[in-house]
């Protein structure tokens, strides 16, 4: 069997471990179920292609064959193979799937219904009890799964078998390249995670900067340095709501702003021992991109407190930034709090551990490395050449490791550079006008209320720099003409003592 021979001759020790573990899972499943009771769900993607060749090797070895005692040409693939064909699939995926089936003598069960309906019909007609799936940690469907996991409630009953659940993006490409097997050609065009034709584009992180004008070229998928950015080519939905004067307003017709929440974790801040300088600076940086910061909160170094704050704001904000409480100490509970907020567990992340080991050496390896325990199945590593260690992103929550202003500047610059992934999309700058007046708060209250009603897209604010100083009124919005009209209207409503200042 060429697959088994190629891996065993490889000098990649990690690949050999991953391969042996996957083969064990496959052989275990083939011991529990007859060949008629198992199936393989093939979709033509890289993970599915890896699993296909692992199944070939696993079945080969399960039947007692050793290296070289049966030519590959005489080996047939007996496991029932399911392919769900849809109108939105890439033509290249279709072609690769059928070519692979023809090359290896695979009989495809082609289903053209939706996944659930097709599966229900298949399981009713066939005695299938277990299905091999190419699911990996980090996939949206991987949360809570083990290598053997019963199907979810509401689905037809079968055992999900996940031989490559613990494989990383790096492991997938190490296997495909070491074994020299064919994979879908889209991966050589910069695609790193392939969904439908409606939601998938080449990964911008693989763009070749010196491409000729009018011609966009990309490096192949296996050259992506940070495997957790593999889904950067998948379309992201941008929130369509923002907070305007305490009320929700639609985008982009009105404020066209994105919202962020900021959570600081630290007993030292709450006790007054340390002054939080990161929160105000982060507010300024977000504001410069046209984002609205809806809240800044500080919580204790306590897991439940972190989880509750993340739960409170993750569904109300486009992004939640959290910092503090990150490290190897018992009080560093931020990662655990984020995991609890999303209902997942902490699990070792091999790619992150590699970064930490490179930075700290042997002190950050194995089970002793608490910092490499990240929320399972939802973690994406935001790697950038300016950062010694990637930032952690869990859905719309970004964990910053900055402990001072200089580190925050560095991490922010990296996030802005990664804007091609739609992470920090700019919605345009704010335009601001200030008025100073000697009038009292009571005297300006009614005119300001009228301004808020007349101009719902305008943000209003008032403050005094000193107790006896003048009242400063701020009007701010995305449309300059609207801001100018609002300031003119307010000036007319305030009878005296008004001075206009441009900002």
Which pLDDT tens digits describe the chain residue by residue (503 residues)?
Answer: 789 999 999 999 999 999 999 999 999 999 999 999 999 999 999 999 999 999 999 998 888 755 444 455 455 789 999 998 888 899 999 999 999 999 998 989 998 877 788 888 888 889 999 999 999 876 777 767 889 999 888 888 999 999 999 898 999 999 999 999 999 999 999 999 998 888 899 998 898 876 665 678 899 999 998 776 787 777 544 333 333 333 333 333 334 568 899 999 999 999 999 999 999 999 999 988 888 898 999 999 999 999 999 999 998 888 999 999 888 787 889 999 999 999 888 887 878 888 887 777 665 544 446 787 888 888 888 888 888 888 999 989 999 999 999 999 999 988 888 754 557 766 677 888 888 888 888 888 888 888 877 888 788 888 888 888 888 888 888 788 888 888 888 888 886 556 555 44
**Residue 341 pairs with which residues in a beta bridge?**
none
Is residue 130 within a helix (H) or strand (E), and if so which, with residue range? Answer: strand 130-132
Which of 242, 394, 380 lies closest to 311, judged by CA? 394
Contact predicate 494/438, CB 8 Å: no
> What backbone torsions phi and psi does residue 85 show, to the nearest 5 degrees?
-100, 125
CB distance 238 to 232 below 8 Å? no
- Strand partners for 160: 131, 149
Residue 252's pLDDT is 32
What stretches of 238-372 show up as alpha helix (H) in DSSP? 267-270, 278-288, 303-314, 334-341, 350-360
Q: Which domains does the chain have, with CATH numbers?
A: 2-170 (3.40.50.620), 184-233 (no CATH), 241-421 (3.40.980.10), 431-502 (3.30.70.1130)
Q: Phi/psi of residue 192, each to 5°?
A: -115, -20
Judged by DSSP in three states, 99 sits in: helix
Query: CA 264 from chain center: how many Å?
Result: 21
Q: Which of 298, 308, 303, 310 is nearest to 267 (CA)?
A: 298
Tell me what pLDDT residue 236 has.
45
Within 8 A by CB and 6+ apart from 277, the residues are 404, 405
Cis geometry, peptide bond prior to residue 105 (ω within 30 degrees of 0): no
Instruction: Phi first, then psi: give them for residue 262, nearest 5 degrees.
Output: -125, 130
- Angle of the 13-32 helix axis to the 169-179 helix axis, nearest 10: 90
Residue 292's pLDDT is 87
pLDDT for the residue numbered 309: 94
Residue 187 Cα to chain centre, angstroms: 20
pLDDT, position 240: 37
Dihedral angle at the C-alpha atoms of 464, 469, 475, 476, nearest 10 degrees?
-60
Question: Read out DSSP for 159-220?
Answer: EEE-TTTT--HHHHHHHHHHHT----GGGGGT-SS---TTTB---GGGB-TTPPTT---B--
């Amino acid at each position: 069997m060429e697959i088994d021979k190629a891996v065993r001759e490889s000098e990649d020790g990690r690949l050999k471990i991953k391969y042996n573990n996957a083969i064990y899972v496959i052989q275990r499943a083939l011991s529990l179920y007859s060949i008629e009771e198992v199936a393989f769900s093939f979709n033509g993607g890289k993970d599915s292609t890896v699993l296909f060749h692992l199944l070939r090797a696993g079945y080969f070895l399960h039947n007692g064959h050793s290296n070289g005692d049966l030519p590959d040409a005489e080996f047939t693939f007996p496991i029932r193979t399911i392919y769900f064909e849809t109108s939105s699939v890439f033509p290249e995926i279709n072609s690769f799937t059928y070519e692979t089936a023809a090359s290896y003598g695979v009989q495809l069960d082609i289903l053209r219904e939706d996944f659930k309906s097709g599966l229900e019909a298949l399981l009713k007609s066939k005695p299938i009890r277990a299905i091999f799936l190419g699911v990996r940690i980090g996939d949206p469907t991987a949360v809570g799964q083990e290598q053997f996991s019963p199907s979810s409630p509401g689905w037809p009953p079968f055992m999900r078998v996940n031989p490559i659940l613990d494989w990383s993006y790096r492991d997938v490409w190490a296997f495909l390249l070491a074994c020299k097997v064919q994979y879908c050609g889209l991966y050589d065009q910069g695609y790193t995670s392939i969904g439908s034709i409606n939601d998938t584009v080449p990964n911008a992180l693989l763009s070749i900067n010196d491409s000729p004008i009018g011609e966009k070229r990309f490096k192949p998928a296996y050259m992506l340095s940070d495997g957790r950015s593999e889904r950067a080519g998948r379309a992201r939905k941008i929130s369509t709501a923002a907070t305007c004067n305490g009320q929700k307003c639609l985008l982009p017709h009105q404020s066209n702003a994105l919202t962020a929440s900021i959570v600081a974790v630290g007993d030292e801040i709450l006790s007054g021992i340390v002054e939080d300088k990161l929160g105000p600076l982060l507010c300024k940086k977000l504001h410069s991109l046209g984002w609205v910061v809806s809240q800044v909160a500080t919580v204790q170094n306590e897991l439940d407190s972190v989880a509750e704050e993340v739960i409170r704001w993750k569904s109300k904000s486009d992004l939640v930034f959290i910092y503090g409480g990150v490290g190897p100490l018992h009080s560093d509970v931020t990662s655990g709090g984020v995991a609890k907020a999303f209902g997942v567990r902490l699990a070792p992340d091999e790619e992150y551990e590699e970064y930490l080991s490179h930075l700290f050496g042997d002190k950050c390896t194995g089970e002793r490395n608490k910092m490499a325990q990240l929320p399972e199945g939802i973690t994406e590593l935001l790697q950038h050449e300016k950062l010694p260690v990637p930032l952690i992103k869990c859905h719309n929550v970004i964990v910053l490791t900055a402990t001072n202003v200089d580190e925050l500047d560095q991490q922010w610059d990296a996030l802005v550079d990664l804007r091609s992934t739609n992470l920090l999309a700019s919605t345009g700058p704010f335009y601001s006008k200030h008025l100073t007046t000697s009038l009292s708060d009571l005297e300006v209250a009614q005119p300001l209320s009228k301004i808020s009603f007349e101009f719902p897209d305008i943000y209003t604010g008032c403050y005094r720099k000193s107790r006896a100083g003048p009242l400063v009124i701020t009007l701010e919005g995305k449309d300059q003409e609207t801001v100018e009209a609002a300031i003119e209207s307010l000036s007319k409503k305030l009878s005296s003592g008004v001075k206009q200042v441009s900002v």
